[in-house]
Amino acid sequence: MLEERSAGAIIYRQSPQGKMYLLLNYPSGHWDFVKGNIEKGEALRETVLREAREETGITDITFVDGFEDKVEYHYQRDGQVIHKEVAFFLATTNTDKITLSFEHQDYTWLGFDEALAKLTYKTAQNVFKKVKDL
Ligand code: ATP
């Protein structure tokens, strides 16, 4: 089976309304956190910094210590089943202006409950719920 590895982050910023979480709308239609494929020789957090910059224009990322989790799923591409693992970190930023790349169609900043409801996949929701417990 083909294996794919990505890394991403639950990115939030403090606003007068509280913490706002960043979600992206992926080309296949789902809403998820910033993430992307790990390039050769890259440490997981390096992938996150690069993907955040490429996908959203955010360059001021601070990782929140003590949070690391993983999502696992299978999907099909060109008739091949792919097993994918995505490592997720928690990170904060002061940037609110997002510059999307060609890779995504939309983004949104939402409070916790709205973001939880917007996430398409249960696996991502389960990781996100652990953030609230922190
Ligand atoms: P990356 O951001 O890692 O480069 P990508 O945009 O290439 O990823 P994914 O977001 O992994 O691709 O989506 C690939 C396929 O897997 C899509 O069909 C998507 O609907 C599905 N998928 C994405 N996340 C999950 C999940 N948590 N559980 C199940 N299926 C998922």
- pLDDT computed for residue 67 by the predictor: 97
Which of 129, 44, 120, 43 shows the shortest CA–CA distance to 35? 44
- pLDDT computed for residue 86 by the predictor: 98
- pLDDT computed for residue 134 by the predictor: 81
Q: DSSP letter at 38? A: P
- pLDDT computed for residue 79 by the predictor: 95
- pLDDT computed for residue 133 by the predictor: 77
Q: Is the CB–ligand 1 distance for residue 34 below 6 Å?
A: no
In a domain, 30, yes or no: yes
Whole-number Å distance, alpha carbon 13 to ligand 1 midpoint, is: 24
CATH value at residue 113: 3.90.79.10
In a domain, 36, yes or no: yes
Residue 119 pLDDT > 80? yes
Q: Which helix (H) or strand (E) holds 64?
A: strand 62-77
Strand 106-110 versus strand 18-25 pairing type:
antiparallel
In a domain, 73, yes or no: yes
What atom of ligand 1 comes closest to residue 29's alpha carbon? 20
In a domain, 134, yes or no: no
Q: Candidates 83, 121, 122: which one to mutate for ligand 1, based on the most atoms within 8 Å of Cβ?
A: 121
In a domain, 28, yes or no: yes
pLDDT for 88-99, tens place per residue?
A: 999 999 999 999
In a domain, 26, yes or no: yes
User: Would you give the distance in Å from CA 48 to the centre of its chain?
Assistant: 8
Can you give the residue range of the structural domain that contains 114? 2-129
pLDDT for 58-107, tens place per residue?
A: 999 999 999 999 999 999 999 999 999 999 999 999 999 999 999 999 99
Q: Is the CB–ligand 1 distance for residue 104 below 6 Å?
A: no
Contact 105/23 with Cβ under 8 angstroms?
no
pLDDT for 1-53, tens place per residue?
A: 899 999 999 999 999 999 999 999 999 999 999 999 999 999 999 999 999 99
In a domain, 38, yes or no: yes
